[in-house]
Amino acid sequence: MPDSAIVKYLVKLRFEVDGVVEKADMIGAIFGQTEGLFGPEMNLNELQKSWKVGRIEINLESKNDRTYGEILIPMSTDVSTAALIAAAVESVDKVGPCSARVELVTIEDVRASRRKQIVDRAKDIMKEWGSRTASEGENLLKDVQDSTKRARVVSYGVENLPAGPGVYTSEMVYVVEGRADVILFLRAGIENVVAVEGTSIPQSVIDLGRKRRLIAILDGDRGGDLIEKELEQVARVERVLRAPHGKEVEDLTPMEVLQLLRGDQPQRQSRSERQEESRREYREPREPREPREQRENRQMVPEPVAQAQAQAQAPEPQAPEPVVVKVGEIFPALNGTLEAVLLDESLAEKGRFPISELVQKVDGESGIKFIIFDGIITQRLIDAAAKAKVDGIIGHRVGEIKNMPETLRVGTFRDLGLE
């Protein structure tokens, strides 16, 4: 039986029988009266066996002692054979004892019908594709246009702090002083920014520091000093960058902001460095005044002898520890990279990787003696280092530590005079 996908022609005939007959009677009459007309190869049975003729369908109804209906013959032959079979079926003149008349209605080209369906579907596809392509083009154009639009200032936290829209999604957030600074950052294309709006740090910024990395960008004036001091006490800030001395962040250009964030501009001294310099300048400790008898005795000692005694009594200068020298060599390339370096007992590097993998590496490595990294020293890191028998950790800042092992030394780059 031919598959519906390979049927070429559908022969349709109608019939009328003078009497009441069934489908089986009509089928028997068709096969019986056409058999042997054109040789065995043209018999309907043989054509069905070779799948050139499909299942013959009979649709009929009886009314007033007469039977009416139609005959459907699917064929996968050429049109000449289909016409010959149609003519043979038309020759059927009896169905059982009843007279019959069969007439060809049409030979339908199924492929033409399928071609029309395919063409109609192709038109629908083209319409859908054209509409989609036009919509995609409009969306792409809109995306390009939107990329040039400046982001708007949004509100953050219960205090409704001025911020950029990136404060809700970015893993790192810049903390500035006021709304004007936020607008400047948005002009520079930086949306992950929030303002504290005063010298008192809002609770929303403090909570943000527990979930995100914070970098403070402050003015180079007294107000910036106060905010920096407050931030160090109440919030977890990774770094503090300052505008040039005497200038405010809002006075900078967008290009100068980007240079400040990249570290291309020289930074002014931090608050602690300025305090240390002031102490050295104005509070230089004076040498204790010698008793009168010692001064008189010292005056009676010949000068060469006095110099020899002074040299003998003076303590010899101590050379810095090798690890301090090694840290000084590593720091310039490590600062600002958010990476960590592990050193073994001979101060040779055992690896360099992001600080997000630091605790995992410390747990899995052996022979680590020193950890030098661009981040904040936490209790979790200290616990891992103590377990791995690490001698020392050096980072940017020490967080809240509740349990400090006696065998572990902890310090910062600022303690070593590197920042």
- β-pair type (66-75, 94-95): unpaired
Confidence of residue 232 (pLDDT cuts 50, 70, 90): confident
- The reported pLDDT for the residue numbered 296 is 46
Residue 172 shares a structural domain with residue 265: yes
94 in any annotated domain: yes
| Residue ending a domain, choose from 243, 274, 305 | 274
CA dist., res. 151 & res. 23, Å (int)? 79
pLDDT higher than 80, residue 307: no
Number of structural domains in the chain: 3
The label of the residue with tokens 């049927």 reads: 7
Domain of 203, in residue numbers? 154-274
* CATH number of the domain bearing residue 100: 3.30.70.2690
Does 145 reside within a domain? no
Asked if residue 408 is part of any domain, the answer here is yes
- Is the CB of residue 194 less than 8 Å from the CB of residue 162? yes
Do residues 108 and 161 both lie within one domain? no
DSSP assignment string, 154-210:
EEETTTTEEE-GGGGT-SEEEEESSHHHHHHHHHTT---EEE--SSSPPHHHHHHHH
Residue 277 banded pLDDT, cuts 50, 70, 90: very low
- 267 and 333 assigned to the same domain: no
Q: What is the mean pLDDT of residues 219-234?
A: 85
Which residues have a Cβ under 8 Å from the Cβ of 409 and sit 6 or more positions away?
391, 392, 393
Helices 23-34, 79-90: axis angle to 10 degrees equals: 110
For 173-196, the pLDDT digits (tens) are 999 999 999 998 988 888 999 999
Which of these, 214, 271, 217, lies nearest to 248 by C-alpha position?
217
pLDDT higher than 50, residue 284: no
In a domain, 403, yes or no: yes
pLDDT score, position 300: 45
If residue 323 lies in a helix (H) or strand (E), which one and from where to where?
A: helix 322-334
Helices 254-262 and 179-187: angle between axes, nearest 10 degrees: 90
Residue 218 structure tokens: 């402050």
Pull the structure tokens for residue 309.
């005694």
Say whether both 108 and 179 belong to one domain: no
CATH number of the domain encompassing residue 256: 3.40.1360.10
pLDDT band at 141 (very low <50, low <70, confident <90, very high): low
What is the band of 285 on the pLDDT scale with cuts at 50, 70, 90? very low
- Looking at residue 268, what is its pLDDT? 46
Q: Is pLDDT at 309 greater than 80 in this prediction? A: no
pLDDT at residue 137 in the model? 63
Q: Are residues 270 and 178 in the same domain?
A: yes
Residue 35 parent element (H or E)? none
Q: Does the pLDDT at position 15 exceed 50?
A: yes
Within a domain: 134: no
Tokens 């499909």 sit at which residue? 54
- For residues 252 and 180, is the Cβ–Cβ distance under 8 A? no
Q: For residue 145, give the 3-state DSSP assignment.
A: helix
4 falls within a domain: no
Q: Is pLDDT at 316 greater than 80 in this prediction?
A: no
The answer to whether 38 and 84 have CB atoms below 8 angstroms apart is: yes
Residue 192 inside a domain? The answer is yes
- pTM summary value: 0.34
Are residues 401 and 326 part of one domain?
yes
On whether residue 33 sits in a domain, the answer given is: yes
- Are residues 164 and 237 located together in one domain of the fold? yes
How many Å apart are CA 204 and CA 207, to the nearest integer? 5
We report the CATH number of the domain holding residue 385 as: 3.40.140.20
Distance CA 341, CA 330 (A): 9
pLDDT digits (tens, 9 = 90+) for 85-95: 889 889 888 88
Q: Are residues 102 and 160 in the same domain?
A: no
Domain boundary at 250, 274, 298, which?
A: 274
* Boundary of a domain, candidates 53, 88, 112: 112
pLDDT category at 14 given cuts 50, 70, 90 is very high
Q: What is the mean pLDDT of residues 28-57?
A: 83
